[in-house]
Structure 1
Amino acid sequence: MLNSEENKRYESAKKRVDDERGFYTHLTFYIVINIVILIINTNFASQGFKNWLQWHLYITPILWGIGLLFHGLKVFKHNFIFGKNWEERKIKELMDEEDTPDVS
């Protein structure tokens, strides 16, 4: 029994580490690729800072950043919308509904 519980804890911790590593890999690619995109799309030598004000340069970082935000929330908040607490409350609520007699 103890060995089974230890294995569950180990697998849970391993999955969490893998999820965090995946997030940090995602973050690294986000930073590197968006810096490269900004450098390629701006012609600083001839236009100076004028080119930095073009809105289309920021679409990819903003949209990808939103995706990265949700990835981070999922990894670090552990199902922040429908997490374990929500599941347990909902199960208890449904069980309580079944226990109460219907007075119709």
Structure 2
Amino acid sequence: MSTLSPQLERTARRRAGMKMGWFIHAGVYVAVNLLLAALSIASGRHWAVFPALGWGLGLAIHGVVVFMVAGGSVYENLLERERRQLAGAQKDPW
């Protein structure tokens, strides 16, 4: 059982779900591209590199969003910076 507050529990579950989604995406990418590579080699042409590169770019962008922006330190740092700015704006300058 979790001892986190409901808000933190929701955030933890959302982040874990996002990361799990990326791992599933990566697994499907590897499986499908292995199959495409086998078909490409069997046909005598090397066309499978093109879908691998295109999909690989999408997987890389997905990874950046999941691990660096939405659930990682970049997002947390930006959020903390905004909180500090808003807290400073609420203070009376006089």
- What TM-score do the two structures reach when normalised by structure 1? 0.63
Q: Which runs of 4+ in 1 moved over 4 A?
A: 87-91
Deviations along 1:45-72, one digit per CA (max 9) or x if unpaired, are xx5xxx4xx3x32110111011101111
Letter in 2 for 1:8: Q
Quote the residue 1:65 is aligned against: 56
Unaligned runs of 5+ in 2: 90-94
Q: Which has the higher contact order (CA 8 A, sep 6+)?
A: 1
Paired residues, what number?
Answer: 84
Aligned-pair Cα RMSD in Å: 2.8
Quote the residue 1:18 is aligned against: 17
- Identity among equivalent pairs (%): 20
- What TM-score do the two structures reach when normalised by structure 2? 0.69
Structure 1 or 2, whichever has the larger Rg, is: 1
Letter in 1 for 2:66: V
